[in-house]
Amino acid sequence: MSQKLVIVESPAKAKTIKRFLGSGYVVEASMGHIRDLPKSQLGVDTENKFEPKYITIRGKGKLLANLKKAAKNAEKVLLATDPDREGEAISWHLAHILGIDEDEPCRIELYEITEQAVKNAILRPRTINRNLVDAQQARRVLDRVVGYKISPLLWRKVRRGLSAGRVQSVATRMICDREKEIQEFKPEEYWTLKGNFFPILSNKQSDSDKEVQIFEASLYGLKDKKLVPKSKEEIDKILAELKEVEFYVDKIQKGQRKKNAPAPFTTSTLQQEASRRLGFSTKKTMLLAQQLYEGVEIKGEGSVALITYIRTDSTRISTEAQNAARDMIRQKYGTEFVPQKPNVYKSKKSAQDAHEAIRPTYLHLAPDKLENSLQRDQLRLYRLIYERFLASQMTPALFQVISIYIKAGNYIFRANGSRKTFSGYTAVYMESNDEAINDDRDIDLPILEEGQLLGLKKWDPEQHFTQPPSRYTEASLVRALEEMGIGRPSTYAPTISTILSRGYVSRQGKTLVPTELGMLVNDLMMEYFPNIMDYQFTAEMEQKLDKIEEGQIEWRSLLEEFYGPFTKYLEHADKSLEKIEIQDEVSDVVCENCGRNMVVKTGRYGKFLACPGFPECKNTKPIVEEIDVICPKCEKGSVVIRRSKRGRKFYGCSRYPDCDFVSWDLPVKDKCPNCGSYMVQKGTSNNTKIVCSNKKCGYIYKSYEKNT
């Protein structure tokens, strides 16, 4: 019996799709790209209209032979790679190698891997979209030319192993520019003045009404303008003027605040929220999301694709998905949580609206039902996506807000209160920002009347200084890249991974900090390749790549327009740039093999010590960071931070190998009051809790002041 061959990118996706197709179909995986530019050379003929020289990727020969055999025996070949530029290019390469006519309707797109979506796609194959392929080729060739032309220059003039890239260099510049802003920032002094007030109750009120409620109000300004004191002298002058004045309620303003539900996730917003709430890197988020999209084993159901396609900048949701969400919200929470009309969110102008936002494919598979099927981090990310989507289709949260203005001589103080009157979407999901998860706690104020006299318990003047801009986190860098139009959803994670692995940027907690090497290379790139480093130039290049996809620009003409000026910059840099010697930081640690003082090097997982005698002496060792906690096992050594071979942080004893204590979680000083075991810090910086390390005990100490 003749069969149709369906080719996808990954075995997980193949396994999921096989569930929906009968015996008339064979499903195989290409394991990603099967052809690419060679690693050992430029692979682009710049003299012949930038013709790419594609080769079969090393190690894919046997796989390719099997695909050719399967295609030869098949009645028809259907290419079901990912529905984006990269996926279209993979299908184009497959069609070329398997001898499929370009005019043959062989391409199918799967934005979600459900039975209905797969069967619908099978019935509607299309021809390969050459505009999409050309846009991918243009990006690939452009990035190859930039990287393979500038990187050797950096190797010769600065240090081996360095690299430059069209997007990575601009991302590094953003982090370096922010660091310079921080270094050049001059703090300015300012003061706040808070007063603790209480209502003076009248004789008419009964004793039960006379319980005094103290509330806080802050200096707002003078009668006709706001006021921010700049010095202690100003504060002292204000306090002197307030000594003899009477305090009374001048005005009370009441109103309602509405907080609308957030849009469902795009690639960018998912990366940002997973970073803030779960502490995931962009790379980890995309890896886990890819697994959830392609399919994971669910007990009793087999391989199930749990979310829609993950590379999208659209917030659009299908009508079917909206209706399913509204039905579930109505059943689970009540009619008042369902908006009269479905919530619709505006996408950016540049968004590819063929894609939906990232959402769960099966609403009946709630996160709680999958606790025994998904890995811990898979479940955490799935829960985030599931709850965000459900919340996006719910009514706003409502708050009763009140502002009380207090007259104090010539000065006005203000107290703000709020109370959530209807939870709306917050019954399911709370948003976060770069600092912390938003806090919608009720702030109560006493019941007051205009003209009511107030008493003063105490003043609380406080000195402050203006703060420099915050360093980028992965979340805020992704947001900034997106806002500036630099890169696209598929490029954010690899860009950040690259600048970290090259040693241009390091992580300090959650923040991204440029290294000395990063600052040096950035300064060189800014001087010799100003167009490559220009924010607007890079954003406009992304727009031109989009126009290739839309069929408005021919891809080779874009490269010709770029390459002429680029070669002139390259020639100038090669002639003008002198050799730069970078001195390694010398430590006080002596190499036990040869007696030299070891130097600090930066690798893909951060800094480490290496012998300067390389290659004669290849000794390396980690830089050990001690924590002010005694080892809970031997009680002799200190707890130190170590890293696994893959760079994951863990905690061990400084006396290793004499003491083999290890923990993935940060140990703290206190012992568990229930069982005496050591306790550890769990969670993200936004949601930290201290728990007993003994799982059988389960003790949780929720409010804990960090001691490390």
pLDDT digits (tens, 9 = 90+) for 595-640: 899 998 866 566 788 998 888 898 988 777 788 899 998 888 899 9
Q: Which region among 3-12, 89-98, 563-572, 615-624 has the lowest average model confidence (pLDDT)?
A: 615-624
pLDDT higher than threshold 90 for residue 118 = yes
For residue 295, what is the domain's CATH number? 1.10.290.10
Domain that holds residue 456: 189-260+397-465
| DSSP per-residue letters across 305-317 | --B--S-------
- Nearby residues of 627 by Cβ (< 8 Å), 6 or more positions away: 638, 639, 640, 641, 651, 666, 667, 708
Confidence class of residue 185 from pLDDT cuts 50, 70 and 90? Answer: very high
Spatial distance between the Cα atoms of 109 and 87, rounded to a whole number of angstroms: 9
Q: What is the mean pLDDT of residues 53-58?
A: 94
Check whether residue 401 and residue 383 sit in a common domain.
no
pLDDT-based confidence at 651, cuts 50/70/90? very high
| Strand-pair partners of 690 | 681, 701
Torsion of CA 62, 63, 64, 65, to 10 degrees: 50
315 and 227 part of one domain: no
**pLDDT of the residue at 708:** 36
Asked if the structure places residue 135 within a domain, the reply is: no
pLDDT band at 512; cut points 50, 70, 90 = very high
- The total number of structural domains in the chain stands at 5
Region 114-136 average pLDDT: 95
* pLDDT surpasses 90 at 223: no
Tell me what pLDDT residue 143 has. 95
CATH code where residue 195 lies: 2.70.20.10
**Residue 597 has what pLDDT?**
92
Domain assignment present for 627: no
Positions marked catalytic: 309
How far apart are the C-alpha atoms of 163 and 142, rounded to whole Å? 15
Domain boundary among 435, 465, 495: 465
- Dump pLDDT digits (tens) for 285-323: 999 999 999 999 998 889 999 999 999 999 999 999 999
Check whether residue 99 and residue 66 sit in a common domain: yes
Give first-to-last CA distance, the chain, whole Å: 68
Give the pLDDT band of residue 705 (cuts 50, 70, 90). very low
H or E stretch at 69: helix 61-73
Residue 513, C-beta contacts closer than 8 angstroms, at least 6 positions apart: 175, 179, 471, 505, 506, 507
- Asked which of 445, 465, 485 is the last residue of a domain, the reply is 465
Residues 386 and 303 in one domain: yes
Residue 624, domain member (yes or no): no
CATH number, domain with residue 120: 3.40.50.140
Q: Which amino acid is at 431?
A: E
434 has pLDDT over 80? no
In a domain, 609, yes or no: no
541-557: average pLDDT? 95
Q: What average pLDDT does this structure show over 15-32?
A: 93
Task: Give 150-171 pLDDT, tens digit per residue.
Answer: 999 999 998 888 889 999 999 9
Examine the domain organization and report whether 276 and 331 are in the same domain. yes
Domain membership of residue 220 (yes or no) is yes
pLDDT tens profile 359-392: 999 999 999 999 999 999 999 999 999 999 999 9
| DSSP per-residue letters across 629-696 | EE-TTTSSSEEEEEE-TT--EEEEETTTTS---EESSEEEEEEPTTT--EEEEES-TTS-EEEES-TT
Express as a percent the part of the chain with pLDDT over 90: 73
Evaluate whether residue 179 is within a structural domain.
yes
Overall average pLDDT of the 225-246 stretch: 94
pLDDT band at 201 (very low <50, low <70, confident <90, very high): confident
pLDDT of residue 654: 86
Domain boundary among 416, 432, 465: 465
Amino acid at position 352, single letter: Q
The predicted pLDDT at position 624 comes to 76
Lowest mean per-residue pLDDT among 28-32, 207-211, 257-261, 388-392: 207-211
User: Would the pLDDT of 439 be above 60?
Assistant: no
Q: Mark whether 425 and 315 lie in a shared domain.
A: no
The residue among 686 and 188 whose pLDDT is bigger is: 188
Angstrom distances, CA of residue 587 to CA of 505, 591, 621, 623 = 21, 10, 12, 10
Q: What is the CATH number of the domain that holds 165?
A: 1.10.460.10
Determine which helix (DSSP H) or strand (DSSP E) holds 600, and give its type and residue range.
strand 597-603
Look at residue 210 and tell me if it is in a domain.
yes
Share of the chain above pLDDT 70, in %: 93
Amino acid at 510: K
Name the pTM for this structure. Answer: 0.82
Residue 177 sits in the same domain as residue 198: no
Q: Are residues 569 and 507 in the same domain?
A: yes
Same domain, 200 and 167: no
**277: in domain:** yes
- pLDDT given at position 351: 55
Q: Sign of dihedral through CA atoms 644, 647, 651, 653?
A: positive
- The answer to whether residues 454 and 507 belong to one domain is no
If you average pLDDT over residues 229-233, what whole number do you get? Answer: 96
Domain match, 401 and 387 both: no
Residues 228 and 290 occupy one common structural domain: no
